[in-house]
Amino acid sequence: MKFKKQVTLTKEELRAQSEAAMKEAMARKLTVKQLDSRKEAKCAKCGAPNRVTIAAGQHRGEFKCKECGEKQRSL
């Protein structure tokens, strides 16, 4: 079994790659969508881990703890 060597990229290189991908998508007339994201959040009351779905364009999402039922917002 062959393993690929992991290459670390700088922020500049990552930014250049994303810009190139966006230009290519625009040249091909592809639609680029921003999807909902998922985030791991810790309950402020009991400390249980929760997976929160956050709407596109939002930074915080409301959730109810799966252990204690406390309603709260993710950070």
Q: Token pair of 5, please?
A: 């060597």
More confident residue, 17 or 75: 17
- Find where tokens 């039922």 sit: 69
Looking at residue 1, its pLDDT comes to 56
Query: Is 31 a domain residue?
Result: yes
Identify the domain containing residue 54 by its residue range.
Answer: 11-73
Query: Is 52 a domain residue?
Result: yes
Query: Is 46 a domain residue?
Result: yes
Query: Is 5 a domain residue?
Result: no
Residue 5: pLDDT over 80 = no
Q: Environment class of residue 4 by beta-carbon count within 10 Å: exposed (0-12), middle (13-18) or buried (19+)?
A: exposed
Looking at residue 19, its pLDDT comes to 92
Q: Are 74 and 41 in contact (CB under 8 A)?
A: yes
Looking at residue 2, its pLDDT comes to 66
Looking at residue 12, its pLDDT comes to 92
